[in-house]
Amino acid sequence: MVQIIGIWVASLLTLCIFSFLYKDNPFYKFAEHLFVGVSAGYWAMYSWYNILVPNLGRPLFIEHEFILVIPLILGILMLLRLFPKVGWLSRWPLAFIVGMTSGYYLVTFLQTNALEQARATIIPLNHINNIILIIGVLTGLLYFFFSTRHKGGIGFAARIGRMFLMVAFGASFGYTVMARISLLIGRMYFLLGEWLHII
């Protein structure tokens, strides 16, 4: 019985969301507000039980890992935004997060997005596919040179690079649209199969 009610609720909410395809309407508004509210509540509980309690509460107050006092203080500073007189203190944890992130990802990105990519691009020019790949990478790289005027030979190469990018985007677009259609098929299968038992 509970399962049947669940299927009916999910199906009606799906139709409410699909009604947006016609235009904004009270059914969509209801589903939208319900979705946003429920998901916000869900993520609040998720953060409490899966992030704060296991990563801060338990290690600090039960296992006495006092180093965790630092993130606790940073978190409290963040909450000081609620008090206008001392709200400026919330900039400190923000500055810490932004600075730490930039430094941390410098090494990660240099390895994965630069060194590994460059290494994978170094291939022998013994096949037409390899030659196209090299031309695409080098001209694409030239397109992303910002401190040089894109005129003459560099401009021509940058235009070729842009063409390669657009071809890649087109292929990616088609691929993703196909994936989205499979999601739609899944939803239609739910409506017509599990709910209406037509198929």
Q: Which of 5, 122, 178, 199 binds other proteins (CB under 8 A)?
A: 122
Residues 165, 140 contacting (CB under 8 angstroms): yes
Residues 71, 57 contacting (CB under 8 angstroms): no
Give yes or no for residue 81 binding other proteins (CB under 8 A): yes
Helices (H) and strands (E) in the chain, counts: 8, 0
The one-character DSSP state at 12 is H
Centre a 10 Å sphere on the Cβ of residue 59 and count the other Cβ atoms it contains: 15
Binding mask 130-149 for other proteins (x = CB under 8 A): ----x--xx--xx-xxxxxx
Q: Name 34's Cβ contacts closer than 8 Å, sequence gap at least 6.
A: 13
Site for other proteins in 165-194 (CB under 8 A): 165-166, 168-170, 172-173, 176, 180
Structure tokens at 54: 């296991």
Nearest distance in Å: CB 198, other proteins:
26
Give yes or no for residue 58 binding other proteins (CB under 8 A): no
Site residues (CB under 8 A) for other proteins?
A: 17, 20, 23-24, 28-29, 31-32, 35-40, 42-43, 47, 78, 81, 90-91, 94, 97-98, 101-102, 105-107, 109-111, 114-116, 118-119, 121-126, 134, 137-138, 141-142, 144-150, 165-166, 168-170, 172-173, 176, 180
